[in-house]
Amino acid sequence: MATFEWHSSVMSQDDRSTSSVESGPVAVTDPGASLGGVGAEAVFGGLPADPRPVFRRCSELLGSVIREISPNELGRSTPCAEFDVRQLLGHVVAAGNRVAIIGRGEDWTPEPPGARLVVHDDGWYDAWSKAAALMEQAWSDDAALVRVIELPWIRSSGADVLAGYVNEFTVHTWDLAVATGQSPSWDDEALRMAFASIRAVLPPEGRTAQFEAVRASLPHSAQTWSAPFADAVPVAPDAPLIDRLVAFNGRHR
């Protein structure tokens, strides 16, 4: 049985490939702290003060897609160009663990406790379920929503950061669904939240330069990540919201 190993900055499968999966340190600070020039404080409009119900449904939908992925589909390519299905699963489980760390108010470092992740080919749903349980527990405290959080690309409230992960997990749900021939029932409220959150922090164009500026500000050990979003791609204005969302995230089939 093949085994997937993930470390905080590199993941590999049977030592055949490596790929950056995480994007550096997360520091939880007081509201008066400066981001040191990494980026401006984000301004989110129209997002609820408590995104947890929507985030929970987003997480459950991702879990439902992961549950249907069979071991023989793990080597398939995905619309997330740098990852095949197996690598993208490693990325989302790692991101789920990171969301839990953020919710607990802990610092994210390049080598967080428990960063080593080993998953067998038939263990991805269990791995995601464990990450989802950690996220649920970590964000159960209302204080997590108003805590000011700094990531390399954003300084904002916990609520805004959690809404940003609605975008990440929704887009990766689409990536995995396209790669494995699934057709999830999309949650319109989650799609609207995802769209609002990504538009608050990213312009449609010029993203590479923005990401390079963020990368240059990170410690050398955390500079192995690649740009997580390409520029937005054209899409019909009357296309379904999921299609417009993934297009704004730089995706196409």
Q: pLDDT of 60-73, one tens digit each? A: 999 999 999 999 99
pLDDT recorded at residue 1: 47
> Alpha helix locations (H) across the chain?
52-67, 85-103, 124-138, 143-146, 158-180, 188-201, 207-217, 241-248
Q: CA 22 to CA 12: how far, in whole Å?
A: 13
Q: In what order do the strands lie in the sheet with 27-28?
A: 27-28, 148-151, 154-157
CB pairs under 8 A, 24+ apart, for 229-236? 229/202, 231/204, 231/205, 231/206, 231/207, 232/204, 232/205
Report the range of poorest mean pLDDT among 139-153, 209-223, 229-243.
209-223
The pLDDT of residue 250 is above 90:
no
pLDDT recorded at residue 109: 59
Other CB atoms within a 10 A radius of the CB of residue 59 amount to 25
pLDDT recorded at residue 14: 33
pLDDT recorded at residue 154: 73
CB pairs under 8 A, 24+ apart, for 235-240? none
- Is 121 among the domain residues? yes
In the numeric block, which tokens belong to residue 135? Answer: 């996220």
Report yes or no on whether pTM surpasses 0.85: no
The pLDDT of residue 227 is above 90:
no
Residue 112's nearest CA partner among 192, 190, 8 is 8
The number of folded domains in the chain is 1
Which helix H or strand E contains 150, and what residues bound it? Answer: strand 148-151
CATH code where residue 117 lies: 1.20.120.450
Report the range of poorest mean pLDDT among 17-21, 98-102, 103-107, 123-127.
17-21
3-state SS string for 22-41 = CCCCEEECCCCCCCCCCCCE
- Is 10 among the domain residues? no
Identify the DSSP state of 122.
T
The pLDDT of residue 236 is above 90:
yes
**Average pLDDT over every residue of 118-137:** 96
- Is 242 among the domain residues? yes
- Is 17 among the domain residues? no
pLDDT recorded at residue 213: 63
The pLDDT of residue 131 is above 80:
yes
- Is 8 among the domain residues? no
Q: CA of 244: how far to CAs of 43, 60, 67, 203, 247, in Å?
A: 21, 22, 26, 14, 5
Q: CA of 57: how far to CAs of 165, 169, 171, 183, in Å?
A: 12, 11, 14, 16
Report the range of poorest mean pLDDT among 1-15, 91-105, 114-128, 232-246.
1-15
The pLDDT of residue 185 is above 80:
yes
Tally of residues, the chain: 253
Banded model confidence at residue 165, pLDDT cuts 50, 70, 90: very high
32 Cβ contact partners less than 8 Å away, ≥ 6 residues apart:
none
The pLDDT of residue 115 is above 80:
no
More confident residue, 211 or 17: 211
**Percent of the chain clearing pLDDT 70 (strictly above):** 67
- Is 1 among the domain residues? no
Mean pLDDT over each residue of the chain, to the nearest integer: 77
73 Cβ contact partners less than 8 Å away, ≥ 6 residues apart:
85, 179, 180
The pLDDT of residue 159 is above 60:
yes
- Is 4 among the domain residues? no
The pLDDT of residue 112 is above 60:
no
More confident residue, 27 or 94: 94
Q: CA 185 to CA 174: how far, in whole Å?
A: 11
Q: Residue 160 belongs to what domain range? A: 23-205+218-248
Q: Are 44 and 160 in contact (CB under 8 A)?
A: yes
- Is 9 among the domain residues? no
pLDDT recorded at residue 150: 83
The pLDDT of residue 178 is above 70:
yes
